[in-house]
Chains A and B, each alone.
Chain A
Amino acid sequence: MESTSQAVEPAHSKLFMRPTWTTGFGSWLTTVDHKKIGILYMLSSFTFMGAASVEAFIMRLQLMRPGQQLVSPDVFNQLFTMHGVTMVFLAIMPLGIGFANYFVPLMIGARDLAFPRLNAFGYWVYALGGLMIYSSFFLGGAPDVGWVAYAPLTSLSNNPGFGVDFYVFGLFLSGVGTTVTAMNLIVTIVNMRAPGMTFMRMPVFPWLMLITSFMIIFAFPPLTIAFLELIVDRTFGSLFFVPAAGALPILWQHLFWIFGHPEVYIIIMPAFGMISEMIPTFSRKPLFGYPVMILASILIAFMGFAVWTHHMFTTGLGPVVNTAFSLTSFIIGIPTGVKIFNWLGTLWGGSIRFTVPLLYSLAFIVTFTLGGITGIMVAMPTFDAQVHDTYFVVAHFHYVMGGGALLTFLGALYYWFPKMTGRLLDERVGKIAWGFIVVGFHTIFFPQHIAGMMGMPRRIQTYPDGIGLEIWNFASSFGTFIMGVGMILVLGSVIYGLRRGPRAGNDPWDARTLEWATTSPPPYYNFKTQPVVNSLDAFWAWKHPESLNVDPIDPATAGKKYDAHGIHIPGQSWYPLLASAALIVGSYGLIYDNWILAIVSGFAFIFCIFGWAFEGVGGHHAQPELEGEAV
């Protein structure tokens, strides 16, 4: 709940003084509170996901029967491009970051991220970048080159329209946002853990967000460079991806996949972390093999950078290269399998409650395992030669990303909704929705394995009739209706739950980690007193210390001395939003060759940086006792 705050230190800069609204539109535009930013991420992600679902639905309608012309090839190419771009960059990855934003500080006993304004900047540049990409639909056409945008499809001569420009500028900027947020998370997790929370006492979700953030900071630069090179080619006429000048199209593929493969682990790691929170909670047991899980995740992150060429098995790199990357791709399956077994080991011997989050976790295990199996299959160059660029691969990655990440995030939504809103989502409707989603998902994607092996390439607006593909495509398209019902039920459930859901209380699930130790929703300063921990599953240890063989801690008093300087709440600011807007406007300038606009925006951006640097500390000190919040 919000409470009025008094500005104690006046801002130094006269321009755009640090605002202090706590409610209303302005408070959301200028917020630096990780919880508000987390919610912004979640809202944007689910909105973009809705758009991507519509794109998918239209595609599946078009493919329901061969030879249809519901949409032209050009429009279809835009649909699958935007579906991929939206799902990967604008929906699934930001959703993980959004949950991380909200819950990592709470789970490590911190009051915010290390750099709150940078956090806000990361959000705005992602959201505005995403909107910029979508504006392409209204400004001459969306990009139509696939989410991977292979050169030389993207060259000015092959693709003179603006679609590719919107793609490359929008994602360049969104990527900057993601990268700075990852840096922010690293500093937060390393530097702001509660007293007593050594790394080996930190919950798995922050651990995996730490690992994910390291992957982000190493994986995004190659993509940024690829985009930079393409931008310079298209805007200034350089020759990076111009075959006529001797350029190598395969350079794009290398740069893209050096990013692209770690990217899929960046997508799934937050999900792994969430599963590792939900399963222990609903088994009433700690995670089985916690150190092994952490080590396995670190190994996956390292190995994730060593497999990228398995996306390029058919590009003629030769048997030695193919063998090497095939072997590394097999090896990465080992720690992943170990994680699956550890989750089963957590359930074993527990007292399992079949709540909606747990049901999604179980569906995740089955679906992700199947996706992992097909992953091992496509890691074989010999077999991949047949199924690369076919619906077999489409099925594989939807199983791991849709079944893996999406199902988990839906479970996490049910799990953490009570904490964020103070209300519970309806379990019965949730279970029905789960049923529709899971059945629908498998109906959509299982037949696609077979379609691929029977000769259906991907990224095609229609397919030859009479070669046996009709039944699989029909079944797959039929599944979208089933899954759609489920997703709509979830949406309705959320809307209803926000208004009428039963009150949740601090700890509706009898959970294990610190976010449940404060109110639902948490006060803006997170915890009344600095939490102090002396074991893993710190909150469980506060509640049931005898079950973990630890000394009990009194949360109300243990942390008082760490708040000796008072609880400093960071001040709000206009500059993250303004700086993001300047970058976006400047991009439009560069796309339309409006150099004045670009240069003015550049100066505006620099001005914002200076304003940001010199606007002064701002913020205030919270006084929970006076504000009447309970811990």
Chain B
Amino acid sequence: MMLNPCSREKEVADLLRSGQWPAACAPELRTHVSACRSCGDLVLVTETFLRARSESAGTVRIGSPSALWWRAQLRRRNAAVERIGRPIFGAQIFALVVNLFIVVAFLAYQARHGMAWLNWLEQLPQAYSLHLENLSQSPLLNPGWNLMALIPAAASLALLGGVAIYLASEKQ
């Protein structure tokens, strides 16, 4: 198929667009259109499409613009919340990693120092018969027992639990 549009197509298209075809058209141009295939196609197709457009536009019942407006506002708000929440999520992940690191470091430290607190746990059932004398001999007060290591471990676990609960509740 040869691509050879007529030089008068623009003239015809302008008349069609302005609604002046065929009433306000020169007879000479009308004669040209009836003889030129390209211009004839243009007139036929444009007239048909313009009629179809007004027919379609006339039949449709459009909804309320306010509903779309609020829908868009809601979507924008959600997108903004998501955008703001992204660095917070990053911070949560960072906190989680730091806590895990503390726990691992604590366990490694305890393993290196003979897990002294395990001995204390083994002796815990005997605490039923706990007396003041026993308490004074308790490994808790034993200088070998590293009480200071237990406190950070408990704090880490509490913190980790808090983060886990916060993450779970936020997801819900």
A and B interact physically? no
Which A residues contact B (CB, under 8 angstroms)? none
Which B residues contact A (CB, under 8 angstroms)? none
